[in-house]
Structure formats: C-alpha cells, structure tokens
C-alpha cells in the first residue's frame, strides 16, 4: 500500500526548503531591527477562542476551520490564523503588565479547509506581527512599514500597499444602513455567499473577490468616519508619506476578519492568479477585551509565505545560495579515509559546510558528486599527502590546485 499527502498540503523538499529558510531568516532579521520579539503558540486552541476572536460570521469560522473534540470532551480547533492565539497568550501570561508596548512576531502553520487556488493550501504558513498597548497611528504605520520592508528586502518587485479605515463599531453601524440601501437592489445579481452576508454582515460583501464589478458605485465608509477616525487615518497616511512608503487608498478594503477597527491594509502583487493579495492586517482595538483581557489596543498583520515564495520564483528573483558546499573531501586509501573522517568533523566545527563519500566510490564518481553538490573546493587526501601532513585543494570554478597543510585547510578555503 502506498500513501500520498492529504489534499491541500505540500512536501517542502531539499532544494526548495532553502528558499523557505532564506525568507524566514529575513523575517526574523527585520523583526529584530524593529524590536519585535518572537512568540510561539499552540497549533490548536479552544474553538470558542476563534469564534470570539475571529468572528462568527467570517468565512473562516463558518466554513473553513478544522474542529475536533479531544478525549477530555473539549472542543478544539486547529488555528486558522495567528492573531487570536497570540492575544490569548498575551492575556493569559499577563503581558499587558509590561510597561512598554508588546511587540511580538510569529512564524508558523495555519489550517483552513479552503478551495484549492494558486498559492493557497489547507495547511499554510504565515509570518505575522502584533503590536499591543498603544493607539498611536505611528504604530499602524510602523507595522505597515515592517511588512513593506520584508517584501522589499526578500527581493519582491511591484508590491503595492492599499489602505483604508474601517472606523469604529459606531461608525460601521452608521455606514451599514447606507450600504444596505445600495446592496438590496443588487441582491439577486450577487453570488450566494454575498446574498447570505447581506443579512448577517454586509460590510463583508465588499470583500468578495467575485462581485467586485457590482460595487463600483458603492458608498465609501470614508464618508462616514467621525472626527476621531478621520484624524487617525490622516496621521497614518502622513507617517507613511514621511517614510516614503507608497500606498493607495481603497475604500472597499474591509479584510475578512471581524475584529478590525480604524486602519485596514493589504499588500498586493501580480503574477500568481486572479487573487493578488499576498498579506494584510489592521488595527484591532477591541479584540483583547473580547477574549477576556483588559481593553488594550493593537495592530498587526499576517503574510502568506507560500505566496511570497511563489512570487519570488515567478519573478525569477536571485536568492542567496544556501545549498552549495564549501568543500567535498575525497580519501584515497584506508588511512586517508580515517583522517578524512576526523577532518570533516573539524571543518564542520569551524563553521565550514563539508561533505565526504560514504559509498566507497572511486575518485571520478566522487568528483561528480562534488560537482552535483556545487562544492567550491574538493580536498583530495592520498597516502603521499598524508605522510607529509598535507592535502590537495582544488578550486572547482577555476581548476586551480595547490597543496596545503592539514591544519590550514579551514583558513585556505576562505569561507565568506
């Protein structure tokens, strides 16, 4: 009997996984610069956490979560997004007691039972940040800047930032009546999901990717903002302008989660199918209180790593080489084989990427193996060299050979 991976999942194999390592390391490096600290939360949480934290009327909760009951009769859910779990950890561990803003980031797997699309899986990976404890619009702009910096520095081209304000609960209530007046005459023209959302959560209709052509003349929530919301949005725009981060205003941008207030934003890029959103986020001033904590404001984002890597491949972005060897060591004879075993260990301990043959192959086959592994050098040790305490070092790119002392091999390789 043979087994295959479950639909909506993927095997990330050697050769590809190095791209993931590069992208993840870049995310961590940028977060260190922005003074965000890593947090790791469980892959499953109480089902109720996501119902309260994500929203009862979102597609995620209604149709996409993986739910199960454990042996203790507890209702649990594989995390469909990162924010709710981070906020649960923030409350449970009383991080709100810290005097400074809590600036956290995560990298990990999420789970949603979704229809297959380009770059979209049922187990997928997100890089996300959460900054909790301040209403300052400068923090909104910083989070957007962090995401934009990430996309820029991994090498993506043509990434766009779109922003909107979704106001407060009161603002959305006032806007809801205007929107319903616009949507009701179009009800029968809309997809089944939108027809259902009109009655339960009409703002979510604007997030539909199918019916956008029906919303050209939709009222703008920006016209319903109160003075506080308008000032907050204007300051976010000013901060982004001051930092030189290009952005566009999209008044139909509402995001797919219920907890957003004030700023909502998305990062978009072309080249991976009909859906061009590669990440997004926003401010969520009421979320911490909704899940049982103190009333602490926050802002964050979640970025899809699958789509990031697909875009890097689509744009043929040249990434740092994380796969090639520094040196491939070849032993000719039993005594040399023993010495090579010791030398490989010493080189690796010195931070050098080294490999040797374990299949008893002849020198020609080993040289081919070194070439396949893109080794910068081969180091050949025979009886004569061993007797003199030396080894022959060959630079693969030029074919140049020289003899060096065994104890000087690491220095001679010049690892950069």
The alpha carbon of 385 is separated from its chain's Cα centroid by a whole number of angstroms, namely 50
Whether the CB-CB separation of 378 and 394 falls below 8 Å is answered with: yes
- Reported as a single tens digit per residue, the pLDDT across 320-354 is 888 889 999 999 999 999 999 999 999 999 999 99
- pLDDT at residue 119 tops 50: yes
- Reported as a single tens digit per residue, the pLDDT across 51-101 is 876 765 555 666 789 999 999 999 999 999 999 999 999 999 999 998 899
Instruction: State residue 28's pLDDT score.
Output: 98
Whether the CB-CB separation of 367 and 318 falls below 8 Å is answered with: no
181 vs 43: which has the higher pLDDT: 43
- Reported as a single tens digit per residue, the pLDDT across 159-202 is 999 999 999 888 888 888 888 888 878 777 778 777 777 877 77
Least confident window among 272-286, 287-301, 314-328? 272-286
Instruction: State residue 52's pLDDT score.
Output: 78
Instruction: State residue 139's pLDDT score.
Output: 97
1 vs 365: which has the higher pLDDT: 365
Q: What percent of the chain has pLDDT over 70?
A: 94
Q: What is the mean pLDDT of residues 193-213?
A: 77
The topology (CATH level 3) of 327-413 is Rossmann fold (3.40.50)
- Reported as a single tens digit per residue, the pLDDT across 301-322 is 999 999 999 999 988 888 888 8
Instruction: State residue 273's pLDDT score.
Output: 62
Residue 136: which residues within 8 A CB-CB, separation 6 or more?
A: none
Whether the CB-CB separation of 286 and 115 falls below 8 Å is answered with: no
Q: What is the mean pLDDT of residues 91-112?
A: 95
Instruction: State residue 186's pLDDT score.
Output: 75
Instruction: State residue 62's pLDDT score.
Output: 62
- pLDDT at residue 118 tops 90: no
Instruction: State residue 170's pLDDT score.
Output: 87
Return the domain boundaries, the chain: 17-167+225-314, 327-413
Instruction: Take residue 134 and report the two structure tokens written for it.
Output: 């301040």
- pLDDT at residue 286 tops 70: yes
What pTM, to 2 d.p., does this model score? 0.88
Q: Which of 68, 69, 51 is nearest to 60 (CA)?
A: 51
Q: What percent of the chain has pLDDT over 90?
A: 67
Strand partners, 354: 327
Reported confidence tier of residue 416, pLDDT bands at 50, 70, 90: very low
Q: What is the mean pLDDT of residues 275-293?
A: 89
Domain 17-167+225-314 grouped into CATH 3.30.450.20: no
Q: What is the mean pLDDT of residues 270-289?
A: 82
């Amino acid at each position: 009997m043979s087994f295959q991976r479950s639909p909506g999942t993927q095997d990330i194999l050697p050769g590809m996984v190095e791209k993931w390592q590069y992208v993840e390391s870049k995310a961590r490096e940028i977060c260190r610069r922005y003074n965000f600290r890593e947090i790791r939360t469980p892959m499953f949480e109480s089902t109720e956490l996501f119902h309260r934290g994500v929203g009862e009327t979102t597609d995620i909760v209604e149709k996409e979560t993986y739910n199960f009951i454990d042996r203790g009769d507890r209702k649990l859910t594989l995390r469909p997004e990162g924010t709710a779990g981070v906020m649960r950890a923030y409350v449970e561990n009383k991080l709100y007691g810290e005097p400074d803003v809590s600036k956290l980031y995560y990298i990990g797997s999420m789970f949603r039972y979704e229809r297959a699309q380009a770059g979209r899986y049922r187990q997928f990976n997100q890089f996300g940040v959460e900054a909790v404890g301040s209403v300052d619009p400068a923090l909104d702009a910083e989070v957007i800047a962090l995401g934009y910096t990430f996309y820029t520095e991994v090498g993506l081209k043509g990434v766009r930032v779109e922003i909107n304000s979704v106001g407060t609960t009161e603002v959305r209530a006032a806007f809801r009546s205007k929107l319903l007046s616009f949507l009701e005459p179009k009800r029968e023209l809309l997809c089944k999901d939108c027809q259902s959302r009109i009655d339960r959560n009409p703002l979510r209709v604007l997030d539909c990717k199918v019916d956008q052509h029906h919303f050209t003349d939709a009222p703008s929530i920006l016209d319903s903002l109160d003075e506080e919301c308008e000032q907050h949005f204007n300051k976010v725009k000013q901060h982004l302008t001051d930092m030189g981060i290009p952005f566009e205003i999209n008044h139909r941008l509402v995001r797919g989660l219920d907890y957003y207030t004030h700023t909502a934003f998305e990062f978009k890029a072309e080249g991976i199918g009909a859906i061009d959103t590669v990440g997004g986020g926003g401010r969520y001033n009421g979320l911490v209180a909704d899940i049982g904590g103190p009333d602490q404001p926050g802002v964050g984002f979640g970025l899809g790593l699958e789509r990031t890597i697909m875009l890097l491949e689509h744009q043929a972005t040249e990434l740092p080489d994380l796969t090639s060897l520094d040196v491939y060591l070849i032993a000719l004879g039993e005594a040399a084989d023993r010495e090579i075993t010791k030398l490989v260990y010493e080189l690796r301990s010195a931070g050098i990427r080294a490999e040797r043959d374990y299949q008893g192959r002849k020198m020609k086959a080993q040289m081919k193996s070194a070439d396949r592994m893109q080794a910068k050098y081969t180091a050949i040790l025979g009886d004569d060299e061993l007797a003199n305490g030396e080894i022959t070092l060959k630079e693969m790119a030029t074919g140049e050979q020289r003899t060096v002392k065994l104890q000087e091999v690491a220095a001679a390789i010049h690892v950069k």
